[in-house]
Homo-oligomer: A and B are copies of this chain.
Amino acid sequence: MSQIDRANAEAVRRILSGDPVLVDVVPAGDAIPALKDGRKILHAGPPIGWDRMCGPMRGAVQGIAVFEGWARDLEDAAGKADQGAFAFHPNHAFGAVGPMTGMTTLSQPLLVVENRAFGNRAYCAINEGLGKVMRFGGNDAEVLTRLAWLRDQLGPALGLALRDMGGIPLKTLVARGLTMGDEMHQRNVACSSLLLRLLAPALARTTTDTADLARCLDFIGRNDQFFLNVAMAMGKAMTDPARGIAASSIVTAMCRNGTDFGIRVAGTGDQWFTAPVEMPVGMYFPGYSEADANPDMGDSAIVETIGLGGFAMGAAPAVVGFIGAGTASDAANFTRAMAEITLGPNPEWTIPAMDYAGVPTGIDIRRVVESGIAPTINTGIAHRKPGVGQVGAGTVKAPLKCFEDALEAFAAGMGIT
């Protein structure tokens, strides 16, 4: 076994032996104290400045600046952004992830996933539901009012319930979700439902006002994608222990900011390898078409990085039609293709319809470059203008250039020319 093979086996061992537990919901400023200084705005994807941000990302920045009280209104926020009043950083730089635009600022409540096998924690905001939402660039009063309710009601209620329960172990929950048609990216109805089943009694025990309780249960219950943000924090918590393993060519993060796609590789530490992000191919909601679509966006590809999403398509035949990726019976083919570029199957996360084949885990940049097979990512599609919201769902390929550049840097680091 070569040095690289050994390092890769260790990287995948760390990913597979993670023990992610949803333990709390806390204000972002408590989870990430650095957010308290200097009007920091964390965003999805690799680093990007205001000047290169796409429409929905700019819309979200304007909205969150108003929400945090850093701007009078959206116009004022845009002006301040232009003048450099906000410090932009990737979520990944602070142990966090965020879907689509992925705004994380100090007063938002964050889901906390603790990887009990390694002691690290990762964070993600609470899913806002469907319709006009900040993750798709929404920034009007409806969006900001909902964010305030998440901050003032749902976030604290969830935190109380989770602490009362001692947390919710996620590994078995996800294993179950895979037997129930979820791939944990564009389809989370099973895990969202299973999570609510576990949360509801604890919320009832810890919430005193039954009207508040009913609203919390209703909000979670109406959102089939509620679990996505939990899965994302889980993905970050599971991949972080593999970061920085010398000589490993395993991918530790994939993410997009709507302009660039970026990856990180274990053996090259926290360096980003970026390329222009691609356009998703998929199904559009009535009244919209590809002409309306923003290029691919969000930190959510962290779920593909741990073998879920497009990699677990075989578990979720019902998602294939939703994202316009072919016929339902083709679902397993996506999973088989991803097995070509990964180190091996996850023995604990298996797909019944594929006779319990494990989801393909541990993307090896060498295999991606050699095979020319790019990771398939299941994704929502945002309107390219701020404030409109989601217009469809589809699949997108990670740009091969990220992997080629990463392999070059990796090889150079290993002294291979």
**What is the bound-complex CA distance between A222 and B171, given in angstroms?**
18
Q: Are A179 and B179 in contact (CB under 8 A)?
A: no
Q: Give CA–CA (A328, B198) in the complex, Å.
A: 28
Q: Across the two chains, which residue of chain B brings its CB closest to A316?
A: B352
Q: Which of A176-219 contact B (CB under 8 A)?
A: 176, 179-181, 189-190, 193-194, 196-198, 200-202, 204-205, 207-208, 210-211, 213-215, 217-218
* Complex interface: chain B residues within 8 A of A202 (CB): 214
In the complex, the answer to whether A189 meets B196 with C-beta atoms within 8 Å is no
Q: In whole Å, how far is A155's beta carbon from the nearest beta carbon of chain B? A: 18
Query: Residue A318 at the B interface, CB < 8 A?
Result: yes
A360 on the B face (CB < 8 A):
no
Q: Identify A196's interface contact among B197, B318, B320, B354, CB under 8 A.
A: B197
A317 within 8 A of B: yes
Contact A193 B201 (CB under 8 A): no
A117 interface contact, C-beta 8 A: no
**A333 cross-chain contacts in B, Cβ below 8 A:** none
- Determine how close the nearest CB of chain B comes to the CB of A73; give it in whole angstroms: 35
CB neighbours of A208 from chain B (8 A) = 210
A344-357: contact bitstring with B at CB < 8 Å (1 yes, 0 no)?
A: 00000000111110
A221 in contact (CB, < 8 A): yes
Given contacts A193-B193, A355-B328, contact A201 B221 (CB under 8 A): yes
Q: A210-B207, A329-B354 are in contact. Are A217 and B190 (CB under 8 A)?
A: no
Main secondary structure of the interface of A (DSSP, over half): helix
Least CB distance, A325 to chain B, in whole angstroms: 13
Given that A213-B210, A331-B353 are known contacts, is A204 also in contact with B201, CB under 8 Å in the complex? no
Docked pose: A205 CA to B356 CA in angstroms = 41
Cβ-closest chain B residue relative to A195 = B193
Q: What per-residue 1/0 map shows which CB atoms of A304-335 lie under 8 Å from chain B?
A: 00000000000001101100000111010000
A177 and chain B: residue at smallest CB distance: B180
CA distance A3 to B211 in the complex (A): 58
* Contact between chains at A204 and B197 (CB < 8 Å): no
Residues B180 and A352 in contact, CB atoms below 8 Å apart: no
The residue on B at minimum CB distance from A181 is B180
Q: Which of A208, A213, A321 has the most CB of B within 10 A?
A: A213
Given A353-B331, A356-B328, are A213 and B218 neighbors across the interface (CB < 8 Å)? no
A318 touches B194 (CB 8 A): no
For window 213-269 of A, CB contacts with B under 8 Å fall at 213-215, 217-218, 220-221
Flag if B189 contacts A176 (CB, 8 Å): yes
Q: Which residues of B sit under 8 angstroms from A329, Cβ to Cβ? A: 353-355
- In the assembly, what is the distance between CA of A179 and CA of B221, in Å? 18
Complex alpha-carbon distance, A317 and B178, angstroms: 11
- Which chain B positions have C-beta within 8 A of A215? 201
Please tell me if the beta carbons of B221 and A197 are within 8 angstroms of each other in the complex.
yes
Given the known A-B contacts A210-B208, A328-B352, are A200 and B221 also in contact in the complex, defined by CB atoms under 8 Å?
yes
Partner of A193, one of B197, B205, B214, B217: B197
Residues of B contacting A197 with CB < 8 Å? Answer: 193, 196-197, 220-221
- Kindly provide the distance from the CB of A349 to the nearest chain B CB, expressed in whole angstroms: 13
Q: Mind listing 14 A-B residue pairs with CB under 8 Å?
A: A179-B318, A180-B180, A181-B190, A198-B221, A201-B214, A201-B217, A202-B214, A204-B213, A205-B210, A207-B210, A210-B210, A318-B352, A320-B352, A353-B353
Across the A-B interface, the 6 shortest Cβ-Cβ residue pairs: A193-B193, A204-B214, A317-B352, A201-B218, A197-B221, A318-B352
